């Protein structure tokens, strides 16, 4: 039995260098892939009922922060407060789907809370250019559908319906 353990140990020592022989130059290794950190910050606020509810969805520095505040009879309560990392590839995709020139052309300032009950506010900074719009859900952000769909998909990943979805 003792010889069996020695044989097994020797076999593992001999085979171990062959188990880890992936070369760094093979495609798909992160060391050869360019890493582009998107210069992108997004704040997406959903405000309802004269401020009785405010959801804030913020993407900055590779993280998503989601905060949901509800004003009750005892004041403002934070129902959800969570932060989690966003993969660089996802940020780059979001960055590439945003046509900042198109976004800057939008000039919404609806302030419809008294009329429809809820508004959204979208503040975007891309490559040191910042623009914001505030709109009701009767408004369409012209030319922004792919970007907004991607943004809403991340919102829903945390288990909360995106604005206008529920």
Q: Delineate the domains of the chain, giving CATH numbers in brackets.
A: 40-157 (3.30.1560.10)
For residue 26, pLDDT beyond 70? no
Q: Which of 9-13, 154-158, 159-163 has the highest mean pLDDT?
A: 154-158
Q: Classify residue 86 as exposed, middle or buried by CB count within 10 Å of its CB (0-12, 13-18, 19+).
A: middle
- Residue 111 neighbours by CB under 8 Å, 6+ apart: 119, 134
Pseudo-torsion of CA 93, 98, 99, 104, nearest 10°?
A: -160
| pTM, two decimal places | 0.69
What is the chain's mean pLDDT, rounded?
A: 75
The percentage of the chain sitting over the pLDDT mark of 70, rounded to a whole number, equals: 62
Residue 126 has pLDDT above 60, yes or no: yes
Identify the bridge partners of residue 63 per DSSP, sorted by sequence position. Answer: 60, 85
pLDDT confidence of residue 113? 58
Task: Say what the pLDDT of residue 41 is.
Answer: 94
- Cβ count within 10 A of residue 39: 12
Determine the Cα–Cα distance for residues 166 and 163; give it in Å rounded to an integer.
7
- Among 60-69, 75-84, 121-130, the range scoring the smallest mean pLDDT is 75-84
- The pLDDT value recorded for residue 99 is 93
112 against 101, higher pLDDT: 101
pLDDT at 36 over 60: no
Residue 43, CA atoms < 13 Å, CB-side half-sphere: 13
2 falls in which pLDDT band (50, 70, 90)? low
Q: Which residue has the higher pLDDT, 125 or 166?
A: 125
């Amino acid at each position: 039995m003792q010889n069996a353990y020695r044989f097994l140990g020797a076999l593992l020592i001999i085979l171990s260098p062959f188990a880890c022989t992936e070369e760094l130059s093979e495609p798909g290794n992160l060391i050869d892939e360019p890493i582009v950190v998107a210069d992108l910050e997004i704040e997406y606020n959903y405000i309802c009922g004269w401020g009785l509810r405010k959801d804030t969805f913020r993407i900055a520095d590779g993280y998503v922060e989601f905060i949901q505040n509800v004003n009750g009879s005892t004041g403002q309560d934070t129902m959800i407060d969570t932060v989690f990392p966003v993969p660089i590839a996802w940020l780059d995709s979001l960055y590439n789907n945003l046509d900042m020139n198109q976004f800057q052309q939008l000039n919404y300032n609806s302030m419809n809370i008294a009329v429809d009950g809820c508004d959204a506010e979208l503040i975007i900074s891309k490559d040191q250019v910042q623009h914001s719009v505030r709109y009701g859900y009767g408004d369409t952000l012209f030319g922004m559908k792919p970007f907004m769909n991607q943004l809403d998909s991340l919102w829903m990943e945390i288990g909360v319906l995106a604005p206008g979805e529920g």
